[in-house]
């Protein structure tokens, strides 16, 4: 058995974990290292992995059940796996190219996202992550009191509604994304949630899917959300992951936002993604 090591990426978020081959079934020691490291660091990075689609699915199912993925066509015969791909000559909007937590518009958003790099640029295409525990904990006591009991309104309409960014299929895109009227639905979640594993409080909002605050007027929502969303992505809360072929990164969607950087024009990128089912935020 290779020794397992965990090296923090920054002082506030993320860690690289060595000594685990994700292509083989996890033993109890490895599973415990992953679950404990995940609770502590929220973003885990595994380098030099060689995974088939079936092995990626098998790894994910050792940690939880698959989450649901709307609006995007998955791989043939693998309904829970997305190819997050972009060809070298694509010019359309970048999937994941704004700060967000995955599918927060769902009643039970994913607990975790797992992304595996198959074909990545020589440079560029990094992913930024931001710690939403710290986003909450660094607020003033007065702001915390004001936010207690408030609920954010989440919707996919700005991304996948008719006429939205990804509302219609792009014949030149590597990914098949089809928006629909279903994206107009709204879902309410507390602005301040408690993590079901760690018990820590966090801010649960994001630029892409949080469209308002219940009971507030449009201008009131815009003013408060504008401040909070800017605060959520403070550089002091962040880590940055540089992708290499064979890198697998998993992040806690409940307490982390992420942002894909669009700086690799002229280079191809292909990743495979699964999500794990989560709980209703409370």
Catalytically annotated residues: 100, 102, 258, 273
Q: Does residue 71 contact residue 168 with C-beta atoms inside 8 Å?
A: no
Q: 3-state DSSP call for residue 105?
A: coil
Angle at 101 between CA 99 and CA 104, to 5 degrees: 125
Q: Which regions of the chain does DSSP assign to beta strands (E)? A: 5-8, 15-18, 43-46, 82-86, 112-119, 127-131, 151-155, 186-190, 192-194, 201-203, 210-213, 238-241, 248-252, 256-260, 269-276
Determine the Cα–Cα distance for residues 44 and 30; give it in Å rounded to an integer. Answer: 13
**DSSP assignments along 15-42, one per residue:** EEEES--TTSPPPHHHHHHHHHHHHHHS
Determine the Cα–Cα distance for residues 215 and 224; give it in Å rounded to an integer. Answer: 13
Determine the Cα–Cα distance for residues 16 and 90; give it in Å rounded to an integer. Answer: 31
Here the tokens at position 212 are: 């308002």
Determine the Cα–Cα distance for residues 66 and 29; give it in Å rounded to an integer. Answer: 23
Q: What is the largest CA-CA distance in the chain?
A: 59
């Amino acid at each position: 058995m290779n020794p397992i090591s965990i090296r923090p990426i920054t002082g506030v978020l993320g860690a690289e974990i060595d000594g685990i081959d994700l292509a083989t079934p996890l033993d109890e020691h490895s599973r415990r290292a992953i679950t404990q490291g995940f609770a502590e660091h929220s973003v885990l990075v595994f380098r030099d992995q060689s995974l088939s689609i079936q092995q990626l699915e098998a790894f994910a199912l050792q940690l939880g059940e698959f989450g649901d993925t709307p609006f995007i066509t998955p791989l043939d015969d693998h309904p829970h796996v997305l190819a997050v791909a972009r060809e070298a000559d694509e010019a359309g909007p970048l999937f994941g190219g704004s700060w967000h937590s995955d599918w927060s518009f769902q009643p039970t958003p994913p607990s975790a996202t797992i992304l595996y790099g198959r074909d990545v640029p020589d440079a560029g295409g990094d992913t930024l992550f931001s710690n939403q525990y710290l986003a909450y904990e660094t607020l003033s006591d007065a702001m915390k009191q004001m936010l207690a009991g408030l609920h954010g309104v989440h919707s996919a309409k700005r991304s996948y509604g008719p006429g939205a960014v990804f509302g219609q299929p792009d014949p030149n895109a590597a990914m098949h994304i089809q928006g629909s009227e279903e994206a107009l639905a709204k879902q309410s979640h507390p602005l301040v949630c408690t993590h079901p594993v760690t018990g820590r409080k966090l801010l649960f909002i994001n630029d892409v899917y949080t469209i308002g605050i219940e009971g507030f007027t449009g201008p009131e929502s815009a003013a408060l959300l504008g401040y909070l969303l800017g605060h959520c992505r403070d550089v002091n809360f962040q880590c940055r992951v540089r992708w290499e072929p064979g890198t697998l990164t998993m992040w806690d969607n409940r307490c982390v936002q992420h942002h894909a950087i669009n700086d690799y024009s002229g280079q191809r990128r292909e990743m495979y993604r699964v999500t794990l089912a989560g709980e209703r935020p409370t």
